[in-house]
Chains A and B, each alone.
Chain A
Amino acid sequence: MISDDDLLLYYYRDGLDATERARVATALAKQPELAQRLHRLVAQLDTAAELPDVPVPAHIQQRWQGALMARSRARPSFRWQALAATVALMAILFTVWVSMKPAPEQIADQPSPTSPQAAGAPPETVAYERGLRWHLANTEQRLAKLDTAQPDERARLVEAIIEQNRMYALAADRANEPQLARVLRAFTPILESLTDERRETSAGDIAQLSFELRVMQARLKAAADPSTPAQPIAL
C-alpha cells in the first residue's frame, strides 16, 4: 500500500531512498488509480499555492531604493576597499624591497661576506638589514593571503604585520633611517583599515604614501649616483 505521504515525496523527488522510489514507481506503473491519486494530490497542492501576488507598496519600494542609495554613498564595498588598500601596500612594499636590493654593478663591486669590509660592518647592522628584508618579503606574502582570509584570520594576520612593522620602525629609527621608519609607520592606518569594515581608507592617504615613496626613490637614486656624496642610508 502506497500512502499519500510516499506519493508526495515521490513527486518532490526528495525524502525517499532509491528502494522506496523504485517501489512507488513500480506501483504507479501497474495501478492507474494510484497515478490518478497522485495527479489529484498535486492539483490540490497547486491550488493551495495560488495565492495572488500583491504589489509592493510604493513606500516600501522607496525605502529599499533609499537604503541602497545610502549604502552606495556610504563607502565602496569592503572587498574593493580591501583590495585597493592591499594593492597599494603591496606596491609600496615591492618598491621598498626592490630599492633595498643592490644593483648588479653594486653586487659586482660588493665585497664578499668574508671580505674585510663586510667583516668590518657592525653585526647588528647586518642582522637588522637581513631582518628587514625578511619582514618585507614576509609582509608581502601575508598581504597576498588577506583577500581570501576569513575575518578572524585576516585580523590575526594584520595584527602580526602591524606588530612587526612597529618593531622594524623602531629599529629603523635606531639605525638612523627616519624615512624608512616613517614609511613603515604609515602602513599602520592602512593595515588597520583592512580589518575595520566601518573605516574607509582614503585615496588621499594612499596618494600621500605613494608621493613619499617617489620622493624616497628619487633620493635613493641620488644616493646610488657615485657623483653625489654618500648618504647614510641604503634604503
Chain B
Amino acid sequence: MLTSLKSWVRPDTFHAVLNERSVRWYNACLRITRDADLAADAVQEALLKAWDRRDEFRGKSELDTWIHRIALNSAIDLMRRRRPQALEESLDTEYLMAANSPHGEYVQEALSRDLITAMQRLTTIERQTFVLKHIEGWRLEEIAESLQTNANNTKQALFRAVRKLRVDLHVWRGES
C-alpha cells in the first residue's frame, strides 16, 4: 500500500492522469458553462486542489472521479460569479468546429446544430440541471445543493429542460 501510494503521488503519474482524462473533465465543464475559458479555469482549479491533496487518493479512478466532481462544482461557481452570457457563442463555434473536423465525422453536423439550438433555448439552470442529471448522473439533492436551490426547483427545471429538448429534437427520433 505504501509503495503504491508513494509512486502515486509522483508528479509524472499525476500528469499522466491529466493527459488521459482531461478531455472528459473539460467537456463536462464546457456543457455546464458553455464557455471555453471558464471550463479551462474550472478544470485548473480542480487540478490544483487535487494536487494539494494528492496523498489522499488511492488510485487513478478515485482521483479522476474527484477532479471531475470538483471541476463541475468549480464550473458552476465560476458561472455564478462571472455570468458570461455574452460569451455563449464561443462554445457553439467550438462544437461546430469539432463536428466538422475529421475527428468529428461520426457526428452529423445537422444534429449538432439542432442540439446547439436546443441547448441555447434552455436557461442556465435548466441546462445545468439537465447536464448534471442526465449526463453526469447526480442526485437531485446534490444538484440542488450545488446550484444553491431546493430539490423541487431542481425537479421543475429538469422537467422544463426535458420538454424543450423533446420539442426541438423530436425529428431525430422519427417523431412528428
State whether A44 and B30 are in contact (beta carbons under 8 Å apart), knowing that A51-B95, A60-B40, A78-B52 are contacts in the complex.
no
State whether A12 and B133 are in contact (beta carbons under 8 Å apart), knowing that A56-B22, A68-B18 are contacts in the complex.
yes
- In the complex, what distance in Å separates the CA atom of A65 from the CA atom of B135? 27
- In the complex, what distance in Å separates the CA atom of A50 from the CA atom of B27? 12
Residues of B within 8 A of A8 (CB): 158-159, 162
Number of A-B contacts (CB under 8 A): 118
Is B125's beta carbon under 8 Å from chain A?
A: no
State which of A45, A47, A71 has its C-beta within 8 Å of the C-beta of B48: A71
5 tightest Cβ-Cβ pairs between the two chains A and B:
A54-B98, A48-B165, A53-B27, A52-B107, A60-B40
Find the B residue at minimum CB distance from A15: B140
Chain B 22-70 interface residues, beta-carbon cutoff 8 Å to A: 22-24, 26-27, 30-31, 36, 40, 43-44, 47-48, 51-55
Interface of chain B: mostly helix, strand, loop or mixed: helix
Interchain nearest-CB distance for A223 vs B (Å): 41
The 0/1 profile, CB within 8 Å of B marked 1, for residues 1-37 of chain A is 0001100110010110000000000000000000000
Interchain nearest-CB distance for A89 vs B (Å): 20
B162→A45 contact, CB < 8 A: yes
Interface of chain A: mostly helix, strand, loop or mixed: helix
Is A113's beta carbon under 8 Å from chain B?
A: no
A-B contacts, 18 listed (Cβ < 8 Å): A8-B158, A44-B165, A45-B162, A47-B111, A49-B135, A50-B107, A50-B111, A51-B95, A51-B115, A54-B30, A54-B95, A54-B98, A55-B103, A56-B26, A60-B36, A67-B47, A71-B51, A79-B55
**Size bracket, chain B contacts:** 35 or more
Find the A residue at minimum CB distance from B138: A14
- In the complex, what distance in Å separates the CA atom of A72 from the CA atom of B13? 13
B159→A65 contact, CB < 8 A: no
B134→A45 contact, CB < 8 A: yes
Interchain nearest-CB distance for A57 vs B (Å): 7
State which of A40, A41, A52, A56 has its C-beta within 8 Å of the C-beta of B112: A52
The 0/1 profile, CB within 8 Å of A marked 1, for residues 108-133 of chain B is 00011001101100000000001001
Residues of A within 8 A of B53 (CB): 77, 79
State which of A4, A12, A68 has its C-beta within 8 Å of the C-beta of B51: A68
Residues of B within 8 A of A44 (CB): 165-166, 169-170, 172-173
Number of residues of chain A lying within 8 A (CB) of chain B: 37
A55→B169 contact, CB < 8 A: no
A52→B98 contact, CB < 8 A: yes
Residues of B within 8 A of A78 (CB): 52
State whether A72 and B24 are in contact (beta carbons under 8 Å apart), knowing that A48-B115, A52-B104 are contacts in the complex.
no
- In the complex, what distance in Å separates the CA atom of A49 from the CA atom of B172? 12
